[in-house]
Amino acid sequence: MPIFAFAQVPQKYSQLAPIGWSVLSGASGDLNKDGRSDIALVLEKKQTDLPLTKDNGEALHNNARKLVVFFNTPQGYKLVAENQSLPVAEQPNSCLLDPLAESEGISINKGVLSIEFSYFMSCGGWEWPRHNYAFRWQNNGFESIGFDYYSFHRASGDETNKSYNFSTMKRKEIVGGNMFDIRKPQTKWSNFKSHQKFTLANINFADFYSQFEY
């Protein structure tokens, strides 16, 4: 499905951003099986709510971000979902690069809305984790149907690969993988628990791991 970055944002999509916000990226595709192309956008506030400076005196890029979804209706685009817990571009006193700029970002494929964050540290850490979240429109909301966690150690090449299915509550874990080794990894299946049903409206991308037993 069409995916666009900030430089190629179609004008009709940028017009969906509320005053004071700009479109960073987005994707289009049918999300509610009505044959119409819906739209999901990652928005960033044009001004920060908490002005901070880095050690070099430059302003910290910590403008708030949010994910919004619009259904394409005969009356026009209708806002149906919003989440304001997206990670910002820069954290104070951190070597973490922008989690969205280093990732696959947002996509729509076969009715599933996905968003990925990449947590690459330019200093102070060897692991490179990626989090991918999948949502489907059902029961009058965007319910979480899957979460994938992948990470590798940039020195040793050791990989961590876990996939969680929130429809079956099954966890798939691939163990023994290594980017620099041809050894065959093993696949393990297990159950996991969640104390709540996650939706795009209530999920906390910034602190997701504490929300269920992984």
Inter-residue contact 128 to 144 (CB < 8 Å):
no
Share of the chain above pLDDT 70, in %: 89
Measured distance CA(109)–CA(5) in Å, rounded = 17
Report pLDDT digits (tens) over 139-163: 999 999 999 998 887 778 788 899 9
Report pLDDT digits (tens) over 59-75: 878 899 999 999 999 99
What residues contact 99, with CB distance under 8 A and at least 6 apart? 87, 117, 118, 119
Specify the pLDDT at position 6: 45
Measured distance CA(94)–CA(87) in Å, rounded = 13
Measured distance CA(78)–CA(105) in Å, rounded = 22
| Predicted TM-score of the model (pTM) | 0.88
Sheet strand arrangement including 170-175: 106-109, 112-118, 127-138, 141-153, 159-165, 170-175, 186-191
Measured distance CA(154)–CA(176) in Å, rounded = 15
Q: Give the H/E segment covering residue 141.
A: strand 141-153
